[in-house]
Amino acid sequence: MNRIGSGLRFAACTLVFFPLSALAQQPATTPPGPIPRAILSAKTLFVSNSASVRGLYTGEPNRTYDEFYAALRGAGVFQLVDDPAEADLVLELQIIDTGPGTANFKLLIYEGKTRFLLWTMIESINACNRPRTCDANFDDSLLALLVNFEKLTGKTPGAAR
């Protein structure tokens, strides 16, 4: 085969495959899935006190529950109830040790009547070495989790704060 024929084949292949490869490299835009109606329409919440990391943050083991509960109450967006049978949503907040000086908040959101898991949110707590830094990182991440929960529910984030 001569050079001209090879050059023409190369040019033809480039014209055919270049547009296809360009299309294949464009990121697909996937529309977001729906948020369960139970989350969007919720008015009452029950917050359970799940297990917590000991020793990494001051005030543990109840600090996570106490501060999240107080922040939800202070926001004034939801009515907090003391019986899960009366709640539209049941929130289970966990703090999970992910390694030396690091942890994650994990918020499990259940439908109140069926106890079916509807949603899970995770917020990382930045690594730390000193107690003061650990506590500040804890507070920042807990606030971020609360704001993201309020956004998920369609409520005004940071109301009454």
What pLDDT is stored for residue 82 in this prediction? 95
The pLDDT assigned to 34 comes to 93
Which fold would CATH assign to domain 37-153?
Answer: Double Stranded RNA Binding Domain (3.30.160)
Q: pLDDT at position 48, please?
A: 93
Confidence at residue 30, expressed as pLDDT on a 0 to 100 scale: 87
Which parts of the chain sit beneath pLDDT 50? 8, 11-12, 14-17, 20, 159-161
Q: What is the mean pLDDT of the chain?
A: 83
What is the reported pLDDT for 93?
93
pLDDT attached to residue 6: 55
List C-alpha distances in Å: 66 to 24, 41, 60, 63, 156. 50, 25, 10, 5, 22
Structure tokens at 58: 């001051």
CB atoms closer than 10 angstroms to residue 84: 17
Domain map of the chain by residue range? Answer: 37-153
Helices 131-153/63-75 angle, 10° precision: 40
